[in-house]
Structure 1
Amino acid sequence: MKPFKLQVVLDHRQRLVDQARQHLAKALQDETNAVDAVTECRQNLDQVAQEYEQRQQQGMLAHEFMLYENQLNHQRERLERLEEQVVMARQHTLTCRKALEEAGREKKLLEKVKEKQQRAEIKEQKRREMAEIDEIAIMFRDEDES
């Protein structure tokens, strides 16, 4: 029976590793985008808070006071949602890293199996060659004795 060729499986495992790398790259990009959005939101919140304090010192109307309070509350809620997105993005990145590690481990395991299979094939081929050489040597020896 002809031995199973592992190269097809190794090629498939390489594609899985490549896909895992792509997923990790996308997850890292998503995490970076989420962190950038949090930074931007914090800056906006700080800016509105400073503006609000300045306006309070100068004096403002009741409806302006309510507008600033609503805007600050909205910015705080948005910041909370964005921070949750950062946490989720980091968890996704961690999951993608683990998937990449696992795909790499499986590929290396198959590479070792392939190498072992190749060594066994070479050993078997050498054994067959030695058997042929022995057979030829016995045939020549029989001819010399005759």
Structure 2
Amino acid sequence: MHKKGFKLQQVLNYRKEVEKVRTLEFADAKRELEHAAERLRREEEHAAHVAHEFVCKQTDGIDAVELQMYANFFRKKQGEINQQRDEVHTLDCKVTEKRETLLHAAKEKKVLETFKDRKIAADVKDEMAKDRHFLDEIAIQKKGR
């Protein structure tokens, strides 16, 4: 059986490599998002803890200097939380973009793999037809003797 190579194998190999790269990029973006979300959660927990502490101190009585310190802290902490929320949103958009890019790369690779499979199946079918024809010819020649 004469084996034919897949003429687009280099393109398929390239698309496989592109898909690997896109997978790594997606994983990195997802990891960044998870870290940013975790930082946001910690910042919000810290703010909630200090807010609880502030409420407890208010019941015991608090002087103006401490009140000002808490006000400054809450203002600064709220700015940090808002900034972290923006970062999480930006990274979430980046993850969505990387997911779409990965999906596109996977589809491109799948198209070529499907084409290759069909080409191989067609080649096998063609080769089997040639073999059948050859065997038929031999049978006809033997019958004629």
Settle same-fold status: TM greater than 0.5: yes
**Aligned equivalents of 1:133 and 1:49: distance in 2?**
89
Equivalent residues in 2 for 1:110-125, closer than 5 Å = 110-122=112-124, 125=127
Q: Give how far 1:139 is off.
A: 9.6
Q: CA deviation at 1:49?
A: 0.9
- Following TM superposition, by how much is the alpha carbon of 1:130 offset from its aligned partner in structure 2, in angstroms? 7.1
Which has the larger Rg?
1
What does the per-residue CA deviation read over 1:116-136, in whole Å, with 9 as the maximum and x for residues that have no partner?
Answer: 333444455566667877898
Instruction: Name stretches of at least 5 consecutive residues in structure 2 with no aligned partner.
Output: none
Separation in 1, partners of 2:128, 2:109 = 28
Q: With the length of structure 1 as denominator, give the TM-score of the two structures.
A: 0.78
* Larger relative contact order, structure 1 or 2 (CA cutoff 8 Å, min sep 6): 2
Distance (whole Å) between structure 2 residues aligned to residue 98 and residue 137 of structure 1: 58
CA RMSD of aligned residues (A): 2.6
Letter aligned with residue 105 of structure 2: A
Per the alignment, residue 107 of structure 1 pairs with 109
**Unaligned 5+ residue runs, structure 1?**
none
CA distance in 1 between counterparts of 2:130 and 2:45 reads: 76
Tell me how far 1:61 sits from its aligned partner: 2.5
The percentage of counterpart residues that share the same residue type is 26
Runs of 4+ that moved beyond 6 A: 127-140
- Residue of structure 1 in register with 2:48 after alignment: 46
Secondary structure at the aligned position of 1:60 is classed as: coil
CA-to-aligned-CA distance 1:46-95 (integer Å, 9 cap, x gap): 11111212222222222221111000111111111111111112211111
1:57 partner letter: T
Matches of 2:108 and 2:125 in 1, distance apart? 26
The whole-number CA distance in structure 1 between the counterparts of 2:49 and 2:135 is: 89
Q: Name the residue aligned to 1:98.
A: 100
> When the two structures are superposed, what TM-score results if normalisation uses the length of structure 2?
0.78
